[in-house]
C-alpha cells in the first residue's frame, strides 16, 4: 500500500490546516496520523482503529478532528487552533497486510 500525504505548510498560531492521506487501496485496518518533532519521539496524534473507534492525543483533543472518506482510502486530519508546539513532521500510517507509512508532511506553526 502506498500512502501519499498533502496539506502541510506554515501557519500562524491559532490558524488551521487540513492534512490528507490517500492510500493506493482501501484501508480496513488501523489508519492513523503520527507526528515527530525535532529531538522527540514519534507520537500518535489521531487514529481510526479497525473497530471504527477514534483516539486522540490528549493535547489535541478538541482542536483536531479525524475523518475518512466513504470509500475508505483517504484519511483527513483537520487541525484548528494550532499552537507552536504542534510543529512537527506529520506521518500517515495504515495497517494493510503490514505496517505502511507515508513520506511525511511538514507542519510549522509560527508567527
Question: Could you list the pLDDT tens digit for every one of the 111 residues in the chain?
Answer: 999 999 999 999 999 999 999 999 999 899 999 999 999 999 999 999 999 999 999 999 999 999 999 787 999 999 999 999 999 999 999 999 899 999 999 999 999
Give dist(CA 40, CA 1) in Å, integer. Answer: 27
Give me 15's grid cell: 490558524
| pLDDT at position 82 | 98
pLDDT of residue 71: 81
Whole-angstrom distance, CA of residue 72 vs CA of residue 59: 26
Specify the pairing of strand 105-109 against strand 88-95.
antiparallel
Amino acid at each position: 500500500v502506498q500512502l501519499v500525504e498533502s496539506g502541510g505548510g506554515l501557519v500562524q498560531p491559532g490558524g488551521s490546516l487540513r492534512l490528507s492521506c490517500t492510500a493506493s487501496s482501501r484501508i480496513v485496518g488501523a489508519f492513523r496520523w503520527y507526528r515527530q518533532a525535532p529531538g522527540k519521539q514519534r507520537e500518535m496524534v489521531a487514529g481510526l482503529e479497525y473497530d471504527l473507534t477514534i483516539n486522540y492525543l490528549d493535547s489535541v483533543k478538541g482542536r483536531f478532528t479525524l475523518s475518512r472518506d466513504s470509500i475508505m482510502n483517504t484519511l483527513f486530519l483537520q487541525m484548528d487552533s494550532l499552537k507552536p508546539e504542534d510543529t512537527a513532521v506529520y506521518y500517515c500510517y495504515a495497517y494493510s497486510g503490514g505496517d505502511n507509512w507515508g513520506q511525511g508532511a511538514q507542519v510549522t506553526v509560527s508567527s
